[in-house]
Amino acid sequence: MSAGRAPARRAGTHARRLLAVLTAVVAIVGVLPGAAHARETRESVVGGTRAAQGEFPFMVRLSMGCGGALYSSRLVLTAAHCVGSTGTNTSITATLGVVDLQSSSRITVRSNYVYRAPGYNGNGKDWALIRLASPVTGLAALPIATTTAYNSGTFTVAGWGAAREGGAQQRYLLKATVPFVPDSTCDNSYPDLIPGEEICAGYASGGTDTCQGDSGGPMFRRDASNAWIQVGIVSWGNGCARPNYPGVYTEVSTFASAIASAAASLGG
C-alpha cells in the first residue's frame, strides 16, 4: 500500500499544488528524484497483503480516489485534502462492506454534506467528515483515540491505493503493519513536520507504506480491550515506501474533541 501525500508544506497554495502535480509525474515517469520534503497525497498500500472479507468492516472507499473510515452509521472520517470546502456536497460516492470494489454485494451511498477541518490550508489539520445521504447498517464503525495513549507501537494501515509508487489503484483492499516513528526521528526526514498534529509510522528501510489513493484512510491498532481504535489518518509523505521517509498521518487524538463536535453538528 502506499498513501497519497500532499504537496510541500510552506510553499503557498499554488506552489504546493504544482509541486504535487510534478511529483506525481516524476513518480509515473520514474526518471527524476522526488522533492525532498514533498507532501504528496497517498493512494495505496505498498508491501501489503490482501485483507479478508469482513476483516476491517469500517473501511470506506471514496469516489474521488481516497479512503476513509466509518465514524458512525452516517459519517465517514477522511482527510481534509481529499475534499473541498465545508457545505452541501452530493458528488461523492462511498463504497463499503467489501474488500473487492467490484463485488456485487458492495454497498454504495452518496454524500450529502462535507465538513472540512476549520482553518485547513494544507499544513496540518488534515481531517474531514463526509455525511452520507442514508445510514449504513450492519457495519461496525471505528472508534477514534481521544488521548495519546495509543500513539506508539505497531499500527495497521489498509487501503485500495497503489501497491507501488506511481502504480494503479487496487481492486482489492490491501493491509500492512508499520511501526511508530518518534517525532524526533521523523523530523530528520521532514523538517516541516507539525508535532502534536501529525504522527509518523514506517520502516527506516522502507518497503512498506501507504501510497497514492490511500489518503484519508485510517491508521489503527488494538486498544486495551483488544478492539480496533483509530490513531491516524493517511495524510502525506515523500514518495511511497522510500527508505528513511515514513508515512505522515494526522494525529487523531489531537482533534478528537473537534471531530466529535463536528459529528454532533452533522447529526451523527
Q: Annotated active-site positions, please?
A: 81, 126, 215
Q: Which residues contact 32 (CB under 8 A, 6 or more apart)?
A: 26
- C-alpha cell at position 184: 524526533
The C-alpha atoms of residue 140 and residue 229 are separated, in whole angstroms, by 12
**What is d(CA 194, CA 173) in angstroms, rounded to the nearest whole number?**
30
Query: Distance between CA atoms of 67 and 94, rounded to whole angstroms?
Result: 9
Measured CA to CA, the distance from residue 87 to residue 115 in angstroms comes to 7
Contact 131, 115 (CB under 8 A): yes
SS3 content of the chain, % helix, strand, coil (to 5): 20, 35, 50
Task: Give the span between the Cα atoms of 55 and 113, in whole angstroms.
Answer: 28
Which residues in the chain belong to E strands, given as ranges? Answer: 2-5, 41-44, 49-50, 59-62, 66-70, 75-78, 87-88, 93-96, 107-116, 128-132, 154-159, 174-181, 198-201, 218-222, 228-236, 247-251
Give the CA distances from residue 245 to residues 44, 99, 158, 185, in Å, rounded to whole numbers and listed in that order.
Answer: 16, 28, 18, 10
Q: What burial letters (b/e) apply to 206-234, b meaning 16+ CB within 10 Å?
A: bebbbbbbbbbbbbbbeeeeeebbbbbbb
